[in-house]
Each structure stands twice: as C-alpha cells, then as structure tokens.
Amino acid sequence: MGEIYKKRELQKSSETKLATFDCLHYPDLYFYKWCNEHFRINRGVLNTIDCWLYTNEVIDLYKRRILILQFLKHVAGAEYNPESKSLKFGKGKLVTKLSAFVAQYKHPVS
C-alpha cells in the first residue's frame, strides 16, 4: 500500500459519519483497498456496485461513494460470515439487494 494511504489511515478521525471519511477522496485503488479491509469485498463487487449506481443516475463520485459505503455497511451485518474470506452475494443477488437498498434510500419507510 502507498504511503499516502497509510498516513491517511493513521490520521482518520474517530467520527462515524460516512461523509467525513477520508477514504471518499482516495484514488480508486486505495478506495478499493479500504473497502476490502473493512467489508471484505473483492474488486468485482465494488465495480459492479459503482457501475450500477452510475448507470442509475448517481453521477457524482462523492455521492456514489457515500452510497457504496452505506450499502456495504447495510449488507455487511446481514451477510457477515466469519468463516468466509469475503462478503458473498450469490448469482444475481448483488444487484437485487442494491436495487432494494436504493429504493428504500429514495423512499425511506417512516
């Protein structure tokens, strides 16, 4: 990992709001590495989420990354398996879960 990435991780504040995470401003590779460390996802999963959000009109990179982290945080609790090396969704289920999450995000249940 690069020096910038290591330094940024050391400087990261203890705030829990996703919008304050330094990782939102990382270059793509460092953002992927951060997501992999925290959510145990592979690059293909991250790219699928990113592309799906982009094609569904979340054009702004900063907003897209916030949604990516919110989605990963949401599914990490439900899909967590300590025996597994990575977060797994199953064939076709990633997009289904992402669609449901974004629909809920756009129209939150009261």
Render pLDDT for 52-77 as a digit per residue (tens, 0 to 9): 999 999 999 999 999 999 999 988 87
Ranges of each domain in the chain: 24-106
Residue matched to tokens 């992402």: 98
In a 13 Å sphere around the CA of 76, the CA atoms on its Cβ side amount to 15
Residue 35 clears pLDDT 90, i.e. is over it = yes
Q: Are 1 and 33 in contact (CB under 8 A)?
A: yes
DSSP assignments along 46-61, one per residue: HHHHHHHHHHTT---H
For residue 18, the model assigns a pLDDT of 57
User: What gap in Å lies between CA 75 and CA 72, rounded to an integer?
Assistant: 5
